[in-house]
Amino acid sequence: MCDIGTMGPWMMILWWVIALVVLGLGVAGAVWLVRSLSGRPSRPELPSRPDPAYEELRRQYAAGKIGREEYLQRKIDLEP
């Protein structure tokens, strides 16, 4: 049988390292499980670049060059 006193200091350090690794893996697994069950992506998606035609349409509407009805119709026409 081995007593703690006969294991030496390096063996104790090894056991602590192993215990910390196991604990870290358990925490990482729990975080992964919660994120995967929440349905949200883990990283936010980058916003897509706005369509230049739509931006021009917004500018024309904001400047008062086109009315609301024309704006709404053109917006519908631009949608994919």
How far is 38 from 42, CA to CA, in rounded Å? 10
Measured CA distances, 71 to 30, 41, 51 (Å): 49, 34, 15
How far is 52 from 33, CA to CA, in rounded Å? 40
Average pLDDT, the chain: 85
**What distance lies between CA 33 and its chain's CA centroid?**
14
pLDDT of 41 above 70: no
pLDDT of residue 30: 95
Q: Across residues 1-14, what is the average pLDDT?
A: 73
Q: Across residues 21-46, what is the average pLDDT?
A: 84
**Higher per-residue pLDDT: 8 or 69:** 69
Q: What is the pTM of this model?
A: 0.41
pLDDT of 70 above 80: yes
